[in-house]
Amino acid sequence: MRADRLLSLMMLLQTRRQMTAEELANELEVSKRTIYRDIDALSVAGVPVYANGGPGGGYALLDSYRTTLTGLNEGEIQALFMLTIPSPISDLGVSQQVKTAVLKLTSTLASDHHQHADYLRQRLHLDAASWFQTDEPALHLKTVQEAVWQDRQLVLSYRRRNGKVSERTISPYGLVAKASIWYLVAATDKGMRVYRVSRIEAVQMSQMHFARPQDFDLARFWTDWVIGYKASLPKYPVTLRIGPDLIPVLPYILGEDVRSLVEQAQPDSEGWLVVDYTFERIEEAQTHVLGMGASVDVIAPEELRVNILKIATDIVAHYSH
pLDDT, residue 57, reads 81
Instruction: Using alpha carbons, select from 172, 165, 214 the residue that is nearest to residue 192.
Output: 172
Question: Which of residues 231, 265, 288 is at a domain's end?
Answer: 231
Q: Report the C-alpha gap between 54 and 76 in whole angstroms.
A: 38
Asked whether residue 196 falls in the same domain as residue 307, the answer is: no
- Indicate whether 136 belongs to any domain: no
Distances (CA, A) of 129 to 132, 135, 204, 255: 8, 7, 28, 17
170 and 224 co-located in one domain: yes
- Predicted confidence band at 97 (pLDDT cuts at 50, 70, 90)? low
- Tell me which of 192, 209, 231 is where a domain ends: 231
Looking at the predicted structure, is the pLDDT value of residue 267 above 50?
A: yes
Q: Are residues 261 and 224 in the same domain?
A: no
**158, 104: one domain:** no
Specify whether 240 is located in the same domain as 209.
Answer: no
Please write the tens of the pLDDT for every residue from 109-124: 545 555 555 665 566 6
Q: Are residues 73 and 166 in the same domain?
A: no
Per-residue three-class SS string for 149-202 = HHCEEEEEEEECCCCCEEEEEEEEEEEEEECCEEEEEEEECCEEEEEEHHHEEE
Q: Please report, for the domain that includes residue 48, its CATH number.
A: 1.10.10
pLDDT tens digits for 271-296? 999 999 999 899 999 999 999 999 99
Give the residue, 120 or 227, on which the prediction is more confident: 227
What is d(CA 96, CA 305) in angstroms, rounded to the nearest whole number? Answer: 56
> How much is the pLDDT for 254?
86
Say yes or no: 41 and 60 in one domain. yes
What are the tens digits of pLDDT across the range 34-87? Answer: 999 988 888 877 778 888 877 778 898 887 665 444 444 555 555 555 555 555
Q: Answer whether residue 245 is part of any domain.
A: yes
Same domain, 222 and 170: yes
115 & 44 share domain: yes
Torsion of CA 126, 4, 11, 146, to 10 degrees: -20
The whole-number average pLDDT for the span 172-190 is 90
Residues 284 and 198 in one domain: no
Q: 227 and 252: one domain?
A: no
Please say which residue of 173, 200, 231 terminates a domain.
231
Mean pLDDT, range 139-166, rounded to an integer? 91
91 domain residue, yes or no: yes
pTM, two decimals, is 0.58
Q: For the residues 314-319, what does the mean pLDDT come to?
A: 93
Give the CATH number, domain containing residue 198. 2.30.30
Is 275 within 8 Å of 261 (Cβ atoms)?
yes
State which residues form the domain around 186: 141-231
- 290 shares a domain with 240: yes
**Residue 297: what are its φ and ψ, rounded to 5°?**
-120, 135
* Number of domains present in the structure of the chain: 3
Q: What is the DSSP letter of 306?
A: H
User: Any alpha helices (H) in the chain, and if so which ranges?
Assistant: 2-16, 21-28, 32-44, 74-82, 95-106, 111-121, 141-150, 218-232, 250-254, 257-264, 282-292, 302-320
As a whole number, the mean pLDDT across the chain is 82
Give dist(CA 69, CA 107) in Å, integer. 9
Q: How confident is residue 139, by pLDDT bands cut at 50, 70 and 90? A: confident
- Judged by average pLDDT, the poorest of 5-19, 174-188, 230-244 is 5-19
Query: Would you call 236 helix, strand, or coil by DSSP?
Result: strand
